Chains A and B, each alone.
Chain A
Amino acid sequence: MTATADRKASEDSPAAPTPIPLAAVVTSPGPWGTALRQIRRNRSAMASLVVFFLILVVCLLAPFYASSIAHTDPFASNVAGTTVIGGQTVPVLAPSTTGLGLGVTPIGPTWDLTHYFLGSDGQGRDVMARLLYGGRNSLLIGFSAALLCCLLAGIIGVLAGYFGGVVDGVLSRLLDVVWAFPVYLLAISLSVVLLTSGVRIGPISIGAGSLWLPVLIIGIVYVPYVARPIRGQVMALKEKEFVAAAIGVGSSDLRIMRRDVVPNVAPTVVVFLPLMTALSMLTESALSFLSVGVQPPQASWGTIINDGLDLLYTRPAVTLAPGIAIALTAVVLNLFGDGVREALDPRARLRGAG
């Protein structure tokens, strides 16, 4: 049981034998404060957080970079375009002039931030500008999908674990059905179906090319992976004395869930959030790579890798740059997630120490 649980148990118990000294309550930073302090002390977690924020800020500056520095439209084809390198005007997509003159090669990295820093893709677009825009989309989808997943999983896990019986049976079987499919197979299947016509659920309508479609798909396919442990935790919590006491004094189910159960599973959800963000981002990249995620001309790191796949032999930077960005972001999110887990789950820290 966490400190929060202990406190809630004390509040709900009608026969608390010993009052807690007021001074102790005032000076205690509380479970969240303690966790925050723990994270601050965790150097790798903090370094990861800094790197992540750097990535985030740089990606958020994508429109500024595209319009004010590179002066390019990263979503418009520029197949017949030219640029100036070393004082010479050259085509962005250069036809071969040697041998049989076969093939057309996009210009490589200029290492000049004002134009084609990382070179051009097969459409003559600035890879650097697309990388930043792609990062915005990948991070947005990754975070939103993780948030949606944790929210849905939290609700399902708490309801299934708390009520048990028929409710648990139905919800668990639903989770089993989703779990029965390999994640990518299910995600690809949903994408293929939904990307042609979009989705309409009551008043909510998501267009076929909307970024919210991959958010919805990824958010749903990972629900069982988060809901299962939450359900287990809630079932364990239900056996605790403070919950039994709350039931004993006639608290409503809603009140017990809100006051006693949710605060105790919240740290678990928080631990999941950065980890699921990394996982969702990777899934989005994979789906976009397979052309069933973000749709052109929108960019994500996955679509840029896909675009670059055809140029791997001549222009590897188009693929390597988003690949490195994905790897770096996934690593820092996982390191930060580990830090959060250690801070919020003392038993995990103890296990690590042991």
Chain B
Amino acid sequence: MSSSRVRAGAAVGAAIALTLSACTSSPSPTATGTAGSGAADAAAPATFQTQHKGGDLKLLAKAAGGTLDPQVNYTLQYWQLYQAMYDGLLAFKKVNGQQSFTVVPDLAQALPTVSNGGKTYSFTLRKGVKFSNGQEVTVTDVAASFKRIFTVSSPTAGSFYSGIVGAAECVKTPATCDLSKGVVVDKGAGTVVINLIAPDPELKYKLSVPHASILPANSPPKDAGSTPIPTTGPYMIASYDPNTALTLVRNPSFTEWSHDAQPQGYSDTITESFGLTVEAAVTAVENGQADWVFDPPPADRLQEIGTKYANQAHINTLTAMWYLPMNHNLAPFDNVKARQAVNWAVDRNAVVKLYGGAKLAQPVCTFLPPGFPGHADDCQYTAGGGTTWTAPDLAKAKQLVQESGTAGMEVGIVTTDDEVNKSIGQYLQSLFTQLGWKATLKPISANIQFTYIQNTKNKVQISLSQWYQDYPAASDFLNVLTSCASFTPGSDSSINISGLCDKAHDATMQQALVTVRTDESAANAQWAAVDKQTMSDAVVAPLFTPKLIDFVSSRVGNYQFSKQFYMQVSQLWTK
């Protein structure tokens, strides 16, 4: 969890990356800690509470999150902050709970009119919205921003936006990008029309993430790095030093136009300071010297937080999975029995313990997380049978290893080198040794592990990885992680880590993608069937759905958790 929470999502040739926006699919409300100073209010106030306006919010992070450019940065750390700074034509609703999956108009006056068989989206731009430099937002800025996604080679340019007419060429040659037929604007009418080469029912989600932010037309045609780009939201960047701090102040040009899309913020300044260890940062929050720690608390502080500071802890289920991708093209996992053996053998409860306990994770044995669109309770690898996982069956796993003829083979497990990942890796090494393989553990830096395990040249047999949703659609898991389009041998951007490329499997997923245009529930049933088949083939071994702890200071109030973008920083108050 720690690594995935801070890791930049990598560019993905046909798909995406990790650690993005996130959320919970739990049907229940999120916060479990009880409130101190209103810290765990169950619902956001319907209107702005003027009496809480002001003050300085002090955030801490172990390290900076990289570039400030919202069309380039792909870390949760800054995506969370961008929610209070940048806007797209659409936005995920900034509220608590399940409603945060709802897409609402942001810089657009209303949700788009869809025509031409789902291939044309028409928007009317909201009038009177200004950038933090005082300049009014125009359709020219909108057209320039879409073009800029390609000129700066945004990590999701190919995966999210290549369906726009002309975008495919822009991906290949960003310098000569021409989207004039894909994004058509009318300055007089203030309208924007997006033309697609094929219907894309997920476009509304893709237009609601920071990579689709609307920026001034004169923004640099390259990664802006540490230079702030003017914002449209309630905050703008006052200063940024990746070695010390990022400071946000109020945007003087901001006036709330939609409480759902972009609510007014409470604090006058928001400072995220870098450099403290997580251990020290937790202590600072306990002592009231800081208000929140971005990084997950260390394992040996959890009990203390859960007892002495329970009122300040907020636990939320995420729509994500920790899983073991197994290389279909490399022994021993080119043998389905070997893959099934892993699924039978792994004690999910043990792995959950290593993650931090049952309160912080839920064992799973389906590809789609519980509560996620397309998920259906089903478990093909649990002792005694049932629809949910209860216990491993080591005897069956050993038998499968023997039957597969892979006993005695060497198996390398690649994990990141942080505490939790490495400890799960050690457990797996011990387990695989029991199964009859010669297991070795290769913990490598979190900075490179995610790309390392994707590249087939590295001959990774099995790895520990995580996937956090980009947006609430089953395709974001199954299609992205198991389709031929996501498998690029020899590339660092081959998010189909298992290397599965099965045309029949792809065809089933394409059918579900077609169905979703007209019948979402029928499509979800199809995705559930795809999930079941995927698990029959034991493409991966799902481990658990993680939860997230937000540990805030005692003075913080109005904690709000968006299932899409996590804690809403701008909605915290400190007075």
Residues of A within 8 A of B (CB): 75-77, 79-80, 93, 95-96, 98-105, 122-123, 196, 208-209, 291, 295-297, 310-315
A209–B410 Cα distance when bound, in Å, is 12
B303 touches A105 (CB 8 A): yes
22 sampled A-B residue pairs with Cβ under 8 A = A80-B347, A80-B353, A95-B353, A99-B306, A102-B305, A102-B315, A102-B359, A102-B360, A103-B302, A105-B300, A105-B303, A122-B299, A123-B426, A196-B442, A296-B441, A297-B433, A310-B298, A310-B300, A310-B423, A311-B299, A313-B279, A313-B300
Chain B residues with Cβ under 8 A from A310's Cβ?
Answer: 298-300, 419, 423
Size of interface on B: residues with Cβ below 8 Å to A: 44
Interface 0/1 of B325-346, CB less than 8 Å to A: 0000000000000000000000
Known: A77-B431, A79-B347, A209-B440. A102 touches B302 (CB 8 A): yes
Residues of B within 8 A of A (CB): 32-33, 279, 298-308, 310, 313, 315, 347, 349-351, 353-354, 356-360, 417, 419, 422-423, 426-427, 429-431, 433-434, 440-443, 549
- Closest Cβ of chain B to A7, distance in Å, is 54
A93–B308 Cα distance when bound, in Å, is 21
How many pairs of residues, A versus B, come closer than 8 Å at their CB atoms?
116
Give the residue of B307, B433, B443 whose beta carbon is less than 8 angstroms from that of A96: B307
B440 touches A100 (CB 8 A): no
A95 touches B357 (CB 8 A): yes
- The 3 lowest CB-CB distance pairs between A and B, nearest first, are A103-B302, A102-B306, A99-B307
CB-CB nearest in chain A for B430:
A77
Chain B residues with Cβ under 8 A from A102's Cβ?
Answer: 302-303, 305-306, 313, 315, 356-357, 359-360, 549
A310–B349 Cα distance when bound, in Å, is 20
A312 touches B300 (CB 8 A): yes
A46–B14 Cα distance when bound, in Å, is 69
A123–B350 Cα distance when bound, in Å, is 10
Known: A79-B350, A95-B353. A296 touches B33 (CB 8 A): no
A277–B137 Cα distance when bound, in Å, is 70
A208 touches B427 (CB 8 A): no
Known: A208-B440, A295-B441. A76 touches B310 (CB 8 A): no
- Closest Cβ of chain B to A87, distance in Å, is 24
Looking at B33, B299, B304, the one whose CB has the most chain A CB atoms below 10 A away is B299
A276–B417 Cα distance when bound, in Å, is 30
B310 touches A99 (CB 8 A): yes
A313 touches B359 (CB 8 A): no
A42–B324 Cα distance when bound, in Å, is 60
Give the residue of A93, A100, A311 whose beta carbon is less than 8 angstroms from that of B353: A93
Chain B residues with Cβ under 8 A from A99's Cβ?
Answer: 303, 306-308, 310
A123–B427 Cα distance when bound, in Å, is 7
Known: A79-B354, A102-B549. A313 touches B347 (CB 8 A): no
- Closest Cβ of chain B to A263, distance in Å, is 46
- Closest Cβ of chain A to B2, distance in Å, is 11
A101–B440 Cα distance when bound, in Å, is 33
A80–B429 Cα distance when bound, in Å, is 15
- Closest Cβ of chain B to A37, distance in Å, is 50
A101–B298 Cα distance when bound, in Å, is 15
A102–B299 Cα distance when bound, in Å, is 9
B354 touches A75 (CB 8 A): no
A328–B417 Cα distance when bound, in Å, is 30
A104 touches B305 (CB 8 A): no
CB-CB nearest in chain A for B303:
A103
A79–B304 Cα distance when bound, in Å, is 21
Chain A residues with Cβ under 8 A from B305's Cβ?
Answer: 100, 102-103
A100 touches B417 (CB 8 A): no
- Closest Cβ of chain B to A96, distance in Å, is 5
- Closest Cβ of chain B to A310, distance in Å, is 5
B429 touches A100 (CB 8 A): no
A242–B429 Cα distance when bound, in Å, is 61
Give the residue of A96, A98, A123 whose beta carbon is less than 8 angstroms from that of B423: A123
B307 touches A98 (CB 8 A): yes
Looking at A75, A291, A296, A311, the one whose CB has the most chain B CB atoms below 10 A away is A296
Known: A102-B359, A291-B417. A296 touches B426 (CB 8 A): yes
B298 touches A313 (CB 8 A): yes
A297 touches B429 (CB 8 A): yes
Known: A100-B32, A196-B442. A77 touches B427 (CB 8 A): yes
CB-CB nearest in chain B for A315:
B300
Give the residue of B427, B429, B441 whose beta carbon is less than 8 angstroms from that of A79: B427
Known: A80-B347, A123-B430, A310-B299. A101 touches B306 (CB 8 A): yes
- Closest Cβ of chain B to A82, distance in Å, is 13
Chain A residues with Cβ under 8 A from B422's Cβ?
Answer: 291
- Closest Cβ of chain A to B169, distance in Å, is 40
B313 touches A100 (CB 8 A): yes
A96–B353 Cα distance when bound, in Å, is 11
Extra pairs beyond A103-B305, A297-B429 (19, CB < 8 Å): A76-B434, A77-B350, A96-B307, A99-B307, A100-B315, A100-B359, A101-B358, A102-B315, A102-B357, A104-B299, A104-B353, A104-B356, A208-B440, A291-B417, A291-B443, A297-B430, A310-B298, A311-B299, A313-B298
CB-CB nearest in chain A for B438:
A209
Chain A residues with Cβ under 8 A from B359's Cβ?
Answer: 95, 100-102
A95–B310 Cα distance when bound, in Å, is 16
A123–B298 Cα distance when bound, in Å, is 16
